[in-house]
Amino acid sequence: MGSPSGPPFDPDDPDWERRERDTEPIPRIDPDDGPGLGRGASLGDGPALSDDINLGDGPAFAGEGRSGRAWIRDPEGGYQPPQISEDELAGLRADASGMSPRRVLPLEDEPSSLVARYLFPTERYRGEWKRHWIHLATPILIGIAATFVLGYLSGFLAGRNVGALTTVAVLLWFAVMGWVAWRVADWWYDRFILTNKRVMVVNGIITRRVAMMPLVRVTDMKYTQSPTGRALNYGTFVLESAGQDQALREVKNLPNPNELYLRVVEEMYEPQAVEARLGKEADEAQADDGA
């Protein structure tokens, strides 16, 4: 009894049976004598290992059933876009009466001929904006002031024999008004453009300037409104990029800055919501045309 090299047997030792059990040799299992481990064989009286145990399809962890959570496997092995529910889209659309609140204004269907030439075929147009009319405040004030000055000089020089000065004053007035007309035309051709891939600014009449920034490179964006800007609803946008040289950074006097901010942010972070809203609006428009 006991191990030959172990301590002598002591019937009063309470730990003798434990030491005797721990030092017993493990019997050798011969695979030719019967089924092996994994085929229903067992050691002693312990539970047998069976082929019924499924390590791939069952819960990943022992506590998974108690927590109520389960891992959902992706059958395609790739990214699955989130599903946009109808409740999430409800706040983005207006009903037929126009009474429900909208967070964004309706999107334009097609770009203007001025903008279409700068878009490539796979790019999706989201909107274009001219600068706020406050952008023309200085030229218009100068034109009004020049008109009053010309009227005053014409009355002052009418009773004097200085026709040459009157001619010069009229020519100066035409020059000022031509400059004002040039600034108005430049304002008309100046556009801020948003697509699903980038933001652009196109301006210039004779010399065209096109500046753009990909949305994926926009690291920070903000807009500021002065007290006058809050009263007249315009602001200045500042776009920060990861690059050193930025062709488009500050865009002044854009109308509806909060609306435009939501448009750009939604296009950057929730493009699926934009596509879902556009698809829903297209379906509703087709339904109305059919009715």
The pLDDT tens digits of the residues spanning 42-68 come to 444 444 444 444 444 444 444 444 444
- The model's pTM is 0.58
Helix (H, G, I), strand (E, B) or coil at 80: coil
CB 50 within 8 A of CB 37: no
pLDDT value for 68: 42
- Output the six-digit token pair for 127: 């909107």
Cβ neighbors of 6 (< 8 A, separation 6 or more) are 19, 23
Q: What integer is the mean pLDDT of 76-97?
A: 56
36 vs 218: CA distance, rounded Å? 63
In this prediction, residue 73 carries a pLDDT of 47
Q: Tell how strand 234-241 and strand 250-255 pair up.
A: antiparallel
CA distance 235 to 226: 7
160 confidence band (pLDDT: 50, 70, 90)? confident
* pLDDT of amino acid 262: 87
Q: How far apart are CA 192 and CA 127, in angstroms?
A: 8
% of the chain beyond a pLDDT of 90: 30
| Structure-token pair, residue 116 | 């279409």
What is the average pLDDT across 13-17?
Answer: 66
218: which 2 tokens?
């926009």
**Whole-number mean pLDDT of the chain?**
74
- Give strand pairing partners of 199: 194, 213
Q: Which residues contact 238 (CB under 8 A, 6 or more apart)?
A: 221, 222, 223, 224, 249, 250
Give the model confidence (pLDDT) of 173-182 as tens digits: 999 999 999 9
